[in-house]
Amino acid sequence: MKKTLTLTAGLLCSLNAWAMTPSNEPIQPILPAKITDPAKVELGKQLFFDPRLSLSGFISCNSCHNLSMGGSDNLQTSIGHNWQKGPINSPTVLNSSMNVAQFWDGRAADLKEQAAGPIANPGEMAFTHSLALDTLRSIPQYRDAFKAVYKVDKITIDAVTDAIAEFEKTLVTPHSRFDRWLLGDKEALTQVELEGYKLFKDTGCTTCHNGPAAGGNSFQKMGLVEPYKTDNPAEGVAALTGKDADRFKFKVPTLRNVELTYPYFHDGAYWKLEEAVDVMARLQLGRKLSDDEVGKITAFLKTLTGEQPSFTLPILPPSTNDTPQPKPFE
Ligand code: HEC
Ligand code: HEC
């Protein structure tokens, strides 16, 4: 009897939250990840943290997408193999499953395709897929795990990137204060934060930063009204299409967890969120905001920080006598 009561109460409660979801808001709440294949996710997590997928044996996905720091490296541009200066700011991997495509210019269609890039990129992990596979195949625990999850006798790059992508899909950040407000908890935001949200909408930020990720779903020109000045040579989508109209078009970044993912923009030129807000209003919308308005929008943006992925740090299986040795100084 007691059980039925709680069940009904729970159902009413969630119906209530659903009914109160303001469906006309441009940003929707992030839903918690549904894990259907925990063994695959666990394997992907190990690979995400395993530096032996790099030539140096030192750089893992987590080096540049640090899950203790909002899924980014908090550097202007990343540091790759041999301390190479990276070409562009590292976007967060948090909520990246919601992106319309991956990379600033969208050159990878999805997370699986993306994951094949960094391992073999000479400026990032500087390995080859075949050496990465030799490494994994030399470790019996990895052989067993891939066999259990993918029914393969020989580990393939397809399985490696699939497992990493499956892990990345779990890196969503629900339950931010803003989402709690969206779901009906009117106490979740302060008056200043609410005013910031109203300004964010009224100024026109939501034309580009909308949907559950508050971005990630379109490519837009950086410097629509006023040109953006930068020394960074990145061309945006034009690098793929060769079209002049695509010059300086970048994927609109998600504003989820933006409080954690400084410095800002593809060149990482701005460290302060207030500055990024001011630049956006001027360059994208032709609006000069007052310090007070910038402060309020910034206060709102910080309510988009969600629950960070939390899990046990994976313990990686040891190398064997057959594992290729790392070459950190080549
Ligand atoms: C040396 C630093 C570095 C390493 C190592 C690295 N990345 Fe990245 N990652 C970047 C940078 C920089 C970008 C942006 C590149 C671009 O857009 O041209 C990026 C982009 C991404 C994106 C696209 C996100 C978006 O919003 O477009 C994903 C997803 C990602 N990396 C996942 C991974 C995975 C998985 C690994 C490990 C296999 C990895 N990265 C290893 C620096 C790194
Ligand atoms: C016309 C589309 C558009 C509008 C309108 C727009 N943005 Fe952006 N926003 C972008 C693009 C594109 C970028 C990435 C630019 C780059 O990195 O060069 C971006 C980047 C940002 C960033 C940096 C995020 C990061 O991780 O680097 C912030 C913060 C931001 N926008 C906030 C705002 C705010 C606040 C407004 C309203 C005042 C706004 N944006 C209006 C398209 C837009």
| 3-state secondary structure labels for all residues of 181-200 | HHCCCCCCCCHHHHHHHHHH
Compute the distance from residue 280 Cα to the ligand 2 centre, in Å: 5
Name the burial class of residue 202, with classes exposed (0-12), middle (13-18) and buried (19+) by CB atoms within 10 angstroms of its CB: exposed
Name the burial class of residue 91, with classes exposed (0-12), middle (13-18) and buried (19+) by CB atoms within 10 angstroms of its CB: buried
Instruction: Indicate if ligand 2 lies below 6 Å from the C-beta of 224.
Output: yes
Write out the catalytic residue numbers.
Answer: 124
pLDDT-based confidence at residue 13 (cuts at 50, 70, 90): very low
Instruction: Indicate if ligand 2 lies below 6 Å from the C-beta of 280.
Output: yes
Report all structural domains of the chain as residue ranges with CATH numbers, in order of start: 38-169 (1.10.760.10), 177-304 (1.10.760.10)
Distances (CA, A) of 54 to 8, 64, 149: 52, 13, 23
Each residue's pLDDT tens digit, 285-329:
999 999 999 999 999 999 999 999 999 999 999 999 999 999 999
Reported as type and span, the H/E element at residue 219 is: strand 219-221
Say if residue 8's pLDDT is above 90.
Answer: no
Read off the amino acid at residue 61.
Answer: C
Confidence at residue 21, expressed as pLDDT on a 0 to 100 scale = 55
Phi, psi of 72 (to 5 degrees): -135, -175
Instruction: Indicate if ligand 2 lies below 6 Å from the C-beta of 62.
Output: no
Calculate mean pLDDT across residues 102-129: 96
Each residue's pLDDT tens digit, 129-160:
999 999 999 999 999 999 999 999 999 999 99
Each residue's pLDDT tens digit, 174-228:
999 999 999 999 999 999 999 999 999 999 999 999 999 999 999 999 999 999 9
Residue 149 and residue 141 in contact, taking contact as beta carbons nearer than 8 Å: no
Say if residue 11's pLDDT is above 50.
Answer: no
Q: Is 65 a known ligand-binding residue?
A: yes
Instruction: Indicate if ligand 2 lies below 6 Å from the C-beta of 164.
Output: no
The mean pLDDT value of the chain amounts to 93
Name the burial class of residue 41, with classes exposed (0-12), middle (13-18) and buried (19+) by CB atoms within 10 angstroms of its CB: buried
Q: In this structure, which residue's CA is closest to atom 41 in ligand 2?
A: 205
Instruction: Indicate if ligand 2 lies below 6 Å from the C-beta of 265.
Output: yes
Residue 322 and residue 138 in contact, taking contact as beta carbons nearer than 8 Å: yes
Confidence at residue 330, expressed as pLDDT on a 0 to 100 scale = 80
pTM, whole model, 2 decimals?
0.94
Calculate mean pLDDT across residues 28-32: 97
Residue 123 and residue 270 in contact, taking contact as beta carbons nearer than 8 Å: no
Phi, psi of 221 (to 5 degrees): -70, 130
Compute the distance from residue 318 Cα to the ligand 1 centre, in Å: 25
Pocket test for ligand 2, best of 95, 237, 257, 284 (most atoms within 8 A of CB): 284
Each residue's pLDDT tens digit, 229-256:
999 999 999 999 999 999 999 999 999 9
Instruction: Indicate if ligand 2 lies below 6 Å from the C-beta of 57.
Output: no
CA distance 196 to 254: 17
Calculate mean pLDDT across residues 263-289: 98
Say if residue 9's pLDDT is above 70.
Answer: no
Nearest-atom index, ligand 1, CA of 53? 38
Q: Is 208 a known ligand-binding residue?
A: yes
Compute the distance from residue 177 Cα to the ligand 1 centre, in Å: 28
Q: Is 13 a known ligand-binding residue?
A: no
Of all residues in the chain, what percent carry a pLDDT higher than 70?
Answer: 93
Name the burial class of residue 102, with classes exposed (0-12), middle (13-18) and buried (19+) by CB atoms within 10 angstroms of its CB: buried
Confidence at residue 15, expressed as pLDDT on a 0 to 100 scale = 43
The token pair that represents 24 in the structure block? 């006309």
Each residue's pLDDT tens digit, 42-89:
999 999 999 999 999 999 999 999 999 999 999 999 999 999 999 999
Compute the distance from residue 164 Cα to the ligand 1 centre, in Å: 12
Compute the distance from residue 250 Cα to the ligand 1 centre, in Å: 15
SS3 223: coil
The token pair that represents 268 in the structure block? 């990482």
